[in-house]
Amino acid sequence: MTVADNSVTQLRRGVLEHCVLALLAGEPRYGYDLVTELSEAGLIASEGTLYPLLSRLRKEQLVETTWQESSGGPPRRYYSLSPRGESAVAGFRPAWTDFKRSVDDILERRTR
Amino acid sequence: MMTENRHPLVSDYLARLRTEAIRLDAHDASELLADIEAHLAEATPAGTPEADVRNALDRLGSPSELVDAALGGDQRPHTQPPATPAGSGWAEAGAVLGLVGAEVLAIAWPLAIPLWLLGLVCLVVSKRWDAGLKMQGFFAVGLGMPIAWFLVVSAGYASTVCTSQATSGGGESATTCTSSLPQGSGYAVSALIIGFLIFQLITLRKMARAARG
């Protein structure tokens, strides 16, 4: 792993949970759907590892899940934000903005 | 369950995941398996070409990666023993030495009784034995001293009673001895004692094993 790869991995880990919560802010979504979107965004290395993360979010009561029948397909587990999850997302947005601005400032300063 | 529509590669993957998931507790394992089964059912519906199935499985990650991720949340996998046993082991040693010592020295009650009390206190305060084992320890080992004491004392009373009868006419006296206990009770008591000692040994072994941690 190059140094750049490793730092991206660290960033990913810290931010992933909140990205998952943010994706749920609009409407309930099912596991496969979430996994595909995050995978295409390059935010997860192996898709399967998202499920233990979702399980942890449920144990921490940030999300709620229900299984629902889907027409002509297997049942799907839908995830939705709990009130705690909503306030977690609300808190994350300004924190991320500040963080991003600080990192950008430092990177720009160094390259001038 | 749509197992009949499942691609053999998928079935194989799920079998490997099930094996790997032994490292998790039962609830987490069944949850992960349900999620991955549902995911693969969506990703590889019936008729998916093999190349796509392989890609889907690659993107999923290996079974051990998934179980590692599931363990990452807890600090410690469930198969590992605790890092250090509770307490320093003095309570356990004191309990065994006190209670067994009291049993062996039962008749010397000035010595036996303090040893016995010390052993009982140590039994109660032990941190390495759970309540069930402490109960068993009390009955098997804690009662050893009282039972030994009782046996010794009653053996003294249950001695044979010898009477001598003088024959009429001043001749030699004949002595007849009869035991004050019913016939055969000696065997029954011996059997009970042996049974109790076996129970003691089994319990002591269990306690020693738990004390080592």
Chain B contact for A54 (CB, 8 A cutoff):
yes
- What is this structure's pTM? 0.54
Chain A contact for B4 (CB, 8 A cutoff):
no
φ/ψ of residue B24, rounded to 5: -100, 165
pLDDT digits (tens, 9 = 90+) for B19-44: 999 999 999 999 999 999 999 999 99
Residues in B 65-84 with any Cβ partner in A closer than 8 A:
65-66, 69-70, 72-73
Note the pLDDT of residue B80.
44
CA dihedral B50, B55, B56, B58 (to 10 degrees): 130
Residue B178 has pLDDT above 90, yes or no: no
Q: Are B173 and B164 in contact (CB under 8 A)?
A: yes
State the smallest CA–CA distance between residue B51 and chain A in angstroms.
18
Quick check: B66 and A45 CB within 8 A? no
Q: In the beta sheet, which residues pair with residue A68? A: A76
State the smallest CA–CA distance between residue B9 and chain A in angstroms.
16
Quick check: A73 and B65 CB within 8 A? no
Q: How confident is the model at residue B208 (pLDDT cuts 50, 70, 90)?
A: confident
Quick check: A31 and B35 CB within 8 A? yes
Residue B179 has pLDDT above 80, yes or no: no
Surface-to-core class of residue A28, CB atoms within 10 Å of its CB (0-12 exposed, 13-18 middle, 19+ buried): middle
Distance between CA atoms of residues B44 and B32, nearest Å: 18
**Does the ipTM surpass 0.85?**
no
Q: What angle do CA B20, B25, B27 make, to 5 degrees?
A: 105
